[in-house]
A and B are shown apart, each in its own frame.
Chain A
Amino acid sequence: MSKLNRKKQPHTITPSAGIIPEPVKVMLNEDVAVYLVGTGTEDLLRIEFVFDAGQVEEKLQMTASTTNEMLTEGTSRHEAIELNEAIDYTGSVFTPVVDKDNAGIVIITLLRTIDRVLELAAEVLYNPSFPENEFGMQIDRKYQQYLTNRQKTSVVSREIFYNTLFGESPYGRITTPEDFRTITTNAVREFHSRYYKSGRLYITVAGKDPERALPSLEKYFSGHRTDNNNKIALNTFPEKIKPLRHFSEVPESVQSSIRIGWRGVCKDHPDFNGLQVANTILGGYFGSRLMKNIREDKGYTYGIGSVAGSLRYGGFISVITDVANQYREETIEEIIKEINKLKKREASGEEMMLVRNHMMGDLARAFDGPFAVAEALRGVLDAGLSMDYYRKLEETVKTISPGKIKELVNAYYNPDEAIIVIAGAK
């Protein structure tokens, strides 16, 4: 037997995104799209209902999230306790999900209880009763959580960051104690009747046998046709963001949270995919320049990362970290130094290859298993795109030049125009 060469990595094949799965689209009653993803080995299905009913639609702060959380707190047929007993008895898990743009429910269920589960799902989504008692408890719970969050440097810095980027629009508004007194069951009821409509809904079904959900979906979700599918156009963002350095005191915190960032672009913008590559080099993976410098070289932090993210009506770029209070100035300086390096010098061929391979691996894992595919699918449907998006991203990752990346960093990551938010002890 020849001696092992432990110095040399075994032969590897350049990673690829693999086969990008294409969901089967079926229409319910001509207005609700159902996307079926058939993959996986277990007798389980993950079913997600997504409505255009996110924060972006709300007039009163917290209406979208409160409406969503209250869905499982009682319906016209069941009081809260009975309803939750019925759901739990099936073994399924109902998770209400709300974000800036959308709201709905993710259900994971055994195949054998699918009919009962979808009957309950229709009840929860279309006939919630918003009882006053449960509403009061929910608001109290949220208020307690709100007070706890005031002590988290990461939450405080995030709020100020979004507020600076998106102003008093629903993307940027900061919740105040007053908001907990303003919200009412009527506001929630009104929000529900306006936005939880079949014209604003799509459904994804992922698992070994997704067709098995169709008869029950037909049975329980075909009779709710409406025509309210107007999307609002959110255009209340500040036109131009002024560079800003903001400090919020969180007394007695032993670390400071730092956010540095800019407005970015949406997922359908021609620069978006290129920015993903640029951002990965800067702070998007464990081997990124920021991780190498701030964690692996200096040991200032447990972690540092950056994102080039997209909401439906606006994008953002942000560098995020938690560091000991005494390292915070040096950390900000080092972050800016790393950005300036990227603005001046093209990344080497070796680094480009590493980042391309990392992103290809990430893409391949995004389609590994039914739960992952369902999430990947939602990521594009929400932006009004199709799985084709991932083919384009794959192409960009393979072919983008270091010169183009330098150009993008110069266009989007400008330290002189940055918003710098710090939350921590004085």
Chain B
Amino acid sequence: MISFEKHILPNGLTVLAHYDASTPMVTTNIMYKTGAKDEDPEATGFAHLFEHLMFEGSVNIPVFDTPVIHAGGENNAFTTNDITNYYITLPANNIETSFWLESDRMLGLNLTHGKLETQKRVVIEEYRQRYLNQPYGDIFLLIRPLAYKKHPYMWPTIGKDISHIEKADDLTVARFFKDHYVPENAILSAGGNIKPDEVFRLAEKWFAPVPARKRKISNINSEPAQNEKRVMTVNREVPANELLMAFHCGRRTDRDFYVLDLLTDMLAGCESGRFSNVLVREKKLFSEIDTYLTGETDPGLVIISARLRDGVDISIAEAAINEQLQRLCNEPASDYELDKSRNRYESHNLMAMTSASNKAFNLAFFEMLGDASDINSESDKYMSVTKEEIMETARKTFNPENSSVIYYLAAKR
């Protein structure tokens, strides 16, 4: 159970406060409800590029990092398809610095052409380092456009094409800030050794003067139901074949998220999952196999990624995975298996609560999804999943017409 208090400022900013006296620190987390899905299809990668620019100084503060360091803190940020999230962790005594910094960069940035050009280069190197210079690194650039044809989840946060970053100009960047970095589009969440009243006092002092502005409503196409299996084959200089399968599923807030989260844990969440026991150990088809959900605010994907052992035919490997998926559709899971996944959920959930910064982030995340207090009903949702629901959801999800498959083949030299 995570206790918290909530307050909304007149300019629309939502403020959440969680008190945890066991730490000497406080994390101030600020989440903007803007991610890659809010980008113009002709100017993708902007939410992420913008995350870089947010550290280049704001209207009244020339350098962002130095005051954080002087106060003994650390800060960072990340971008997803749904959100851009910033956080600063400071000793509790010095927490006001984070309110000063974050409110100033909500007021406005201090961008110059030179800074933009440098960060464009940094982002291009990030793209090379993460996606191109890693064996199998580009597979995540390929799967999104295969699975999504209309919805902006079709591009990854780094962008649809790196030329969009190369072409980014000062004007487009300035407009992106005006459209999205507004109080009503943000959630401020403070967690740690600070009383809620003090959080609200500081929020009032620093953020209330930030003028209310309307956020631009993004025009997001919904993804039509898929009715045909999609297949892509690529050849790359890698040592082993890889198989990637993606199935459309519901939103993070839908019931099937919880069912699928337990179900994928049963398949490959742990060493004793069905995929591991049958496909890795018994049939010796794969050296590694993993499943997970993208867990996004709009309907997301269930992903299965599998590295094949030498000499295994990829169509046999795929058939073996499908056989396991069919088993889920046709036979109820055992009580034992369901208990195992519930036990694992319980401990993983507690692990995520061992730091105040995680709690601050999670509160903001659930508020972004609809209501921060839902964080306290998550556990019940997992525990109430039944065997019937698992079969029903498996049938709905794991049919071939709903799948996109990549055969990532090791090119023969």
Contact = CB atoms under 8 A, between A and B. Distances in A.
Interface of A: 4, 6-7, 9-16, 18, 39-44, 72, 80-81, 84-85, 87-93, 108-110, 113, 134, 137, 140-141, 144, 147-148, 150-153, 251-255, 285-287, 295-302, 322-324, 353-354, 357-358, 360-362, 364-365, 368-371
Interface in B96-129: 96-97, 99-100, 104, 107, 117-122, 125-126, 128-129
B353 interface: yes
Contacts of B107: 6
B167 to A, nearest CB: 16
Closest 10 CB pairs of A and B: A15-B72, A299-B121, A361-B72, A91-B343, A147-B239, A91-B347, A10-B96, A84-B272, A6-B60, A84-B271
B24 A364 contact: yes
A72 B336 CA distance: 21
Contact of B122 (A43, A90, A299): A299
Contacts of A90: 343
Interface of B: 20, 22-25, 59-61, 65-67, 69-74, 89-91, 93-94, 96-97, 99-100, 104, 107, 117-122, 125-126, 128-130, 132-136, 205-206, 209, 237-240, 270-272, 276-277, 280-281, 284, 287-288, 307, 309-310, 336, 339-340, 343-348, 350-351, 353-355
B70 A9 contact: yes
B344 to A, nearest CB: 5
Nearest to A138: B287
A299 B125 contact: yes
A324 B125 CA distance: 7
B133 A255 contact: yes
Contacts, number: 207
Contacts of B59: 6
B340 A88 contact: yes
Contacts of B346: 91, 110
A12 B281 contact: no
B133 to A, nearest CB: 5
A285 B340 CA distance: 42
A391 to B, nearest CB: 17
Nearest to A154: B133
A285 B69 contact: yes
A255 B284 contact: no
Contacts of A14: 72
Given A15-B91, A144-B307, A254 B67 contact: no
A42 B69 CA distance: 30
A16 to B, nearest CB: 8
A44 B351 contact: yes
A90 B96 CA distance: 43
A12 B97 contact: yes
A300 B118 CA distance: 9
Nearest to B343: A91
B353 to A, nearest CB: 5
